[in-house]
Chain A
Amino acid sequence: MLDENAIAEALGAVHGPDGKTPLPQSGAIGGLTQRDGKVYLSIVVDPAQADKAEAMRKAAETALRGVEGVTAAIVTLTSERMPGAPPAHNHGHGHSPAPAGKGAPRRVPESVAGVRNIVAVASGKGGVGKSTVAANLAIAMGQEGWRVGLLDADVFGPSAPRLFGLTEKPKVEQSFLVPLLAYGVKVISIGLMIEEESPVVWRGPMVMSAVTQLLREVAWGELDCLVVDMPPGTGDVQLTMAQSAPLAGAIIVSTPQDLALIDARRGIAMFDKVSIPVLGIIENMSYFICPHCQGRSDIFAHGGARHEAEKRGVAFLGEVPLDMAIRETSDAGRPIVAADPDGAHAAAFRAIARALIGRLDAPRRAAPKITIG
C-alpha cells in the first residue's frame, strides 16, 4: 500500500484547473485509486478547458511518479465524475465522454475512429444462426470489396473463434488490441481471450465495459463496415449495447416459423424504441434441399420473415437455406462463403451483402451541422 499522505502531498504541489488552488483542494479530483504501486487519478475538467488542462495532467503525473513506491502513474482528464474506481486499463473510459483533451493522444472519439458503418446483427432469440449469418455476411461483404471487421459481442456464447477457426490470442500494441485476420475479415471476440470451455458469467456492467473495450480499444484501422454480432435476445444487455455503439442500423436474423418471428418482432421493437433503424431482416434456415433427392422441404415453413418484414415496413435482405454444408463448414472454422465461394450458399450471402451495402451506401440526407458555443 502506498502512503496516501505522500500522494496527497505530491499532488498539493500541482495547481488545479484554476491555475492556483492546489489540486487536492480544488475539488477537481474525480477519482484516485492505487494498486500494486500503480496510481490512477482522474481530474474533472470543463471540456472547454481540456487543452489548457493537459499541462496540469502532465504535472500531476510527474508529481505522482515522484512518490516513493509508485511504479506507474496514470492521470486522465474527464468531464464527469466516475462512480468508484477508474478502470485498471490505462487509457480513458471508452464510454465516458471524457474530452480527454486533444493533447491526450489515445483519446478515441465517440464514433469509432476509421469505421464508416457499424451494423449490429441481432436476433430476438438464440439458435437462429445469427453468428453464422454474421460471419458469412462479413466475409461476403469483404468479397464485394469492402473492408470489413467483425466484433463478436456475444459475450454469453462467443462463437467467432470457432467459426473463423481462430485459436491464437490477439496481440496488444500500444494498448490497442490487434484484431486477427481471417478470410479477409478483421475479427475480435471475447472468446479469443478466454477458454472455449470455460463458462462466462457476466453481470450487466461487466458486459458493458467489455463491449466498450472491444469496440473502442481495438486497432480496427480503416473499415467500411464493422459487423457486430450481438448477444441473442432483447434484454437490458442488448439494449444498452445497442445504445452505446454508434450504429448505422441493425439486422435481424430469424428463422421462418411463427415462434421465432414473435421474437424477431421483439427485436425490431427494441431497436425502434431506441430509434435505431432496422436495416432489414434475414431469413435463416429458410428451406432445406435434400442432398439425396434434391427435393425441397420448408422445414420451418418458409417466407415468414419476408412477410413479417413487409408487415413492419422493414426491408427483407434475403434468405439462407438450411444446409448440412453450412453447419459443417461453420464448425470446421471455414465459413461456407469462404469454403465454397462459388456455391449456392455463398451466392445467397453475397446477394444479402450487396443488398446491405446498397442500403449503407444509399445517398443519405446530410446531417445538419452542429455548432457548439
Chain B
Amino acid sequence: MAEPVQEKPAEPWPTELRLTDEGRLLTIAYDSGELFALPARRLRLATPSAEAKRLSPAEREAQIGDRPVRIVEIAQVGNYAIRPTFDDGHSTGIFTWAYLARLGREAG
C-alpha cells in the first residue's frame, strides 16, 4: 500500500469494473488500456479462496456443475481487490487487480 519500494513492478490498475448480463459477466478496464470480459463462471472456477486451493480443476468443475454462474454481489476489499459473492453462496475468494488481469490475459 504505502512504501512504493516494496511494491512489485507496476501492475495495471483498474479504472472501471462493470457487472452485466444479470451478474454473468464482469468487465474490467485497466489504465494500461486493456479491457477484459470475464464470465462469472470462469471467476468461480478460478477462485483464489483457500477453500478451493486443494481442488483440482476437474473437481472445481464438478463442484459447480453445468449450470450458468452468476455473481450476486461484489464487496470491495481495501483498495486492492474485490470479493464477489457467487450465486452458490461462495464468497471467500479475494480477487486482486493483478489476479483479475492475469485471468483476463489468459483468456486472451
Contacts and interface: CB of A to CB of B under 8 A. Distances in A.
Interface of A: 47, 79-81, 95-97, 99, 110-111, 236, 239-240, 243-244, 246-249, 273-277, 279, 313-315, 358-359, 362, 364-373
Contacts of A99: 72-73
A370 B76 contact: yes
Given A47-B73, A96-B89, A368 B17 contact: yes
Contact of A277 (B13, B17, B18, B78): B78
A111 B19 contact: no
A247 B78 contact: yes
B50 interface: yes
For chain B, give the interface size range: 35 or more
A97 B73 contact: yes
B2 A362 contact: yes
Contact of A275 (B16, B18, B75, B81): B81
A275 B89 CA distance: 20
B85 A274 contact: no
B1 A277 contact: yes
B32 interface: no
Contacts of B3: 315
Nearest to A109: B75
Interface in B56-103: 72-83, 85, 87-89, 91-92, 94-96, 99
A249 B6 contact: no
A362 B79 CA distance: 12
A97 B79 contact: no
Contact of A240 (B75, B76, B92): B92
Contact of A368 (B16, B49, B50, B83): B16
A367 B77 CA distance: 9
B18 A371 contact: yes
B104 interface: no
14 contacts: A47-B73, A80-B89, A243-B49, A249-B78, A275-B48, A277-B1, A359-B1, A368-B17, A368-B28, A368-B29, A369-B17, A370-B18, A370-B74, A371-B18
B50 A273 contact: yes
A372 B74 contact: yes
B90 to A, nearest CB: 9
Contacts of A365: 13, 79
B17 A371 contact: yes
Query: Counting chain A CB atoms within 10 Å of each CB, which of B28, B77, B79 scores highest?
Result: B77
B16 A369 contact: yes
Contact of A276 (B88, B94, B95): B94
Contacts of B89: 80-81, 96-97
Nearest to A270: B50
Contacts of B42: none
A248 B19 CA distance: 24
B105 interface: no
Contacts of B77: 246-247
A273 B53 contact: yes
Contacts of A275: 48, 80-81, 94-96, 99
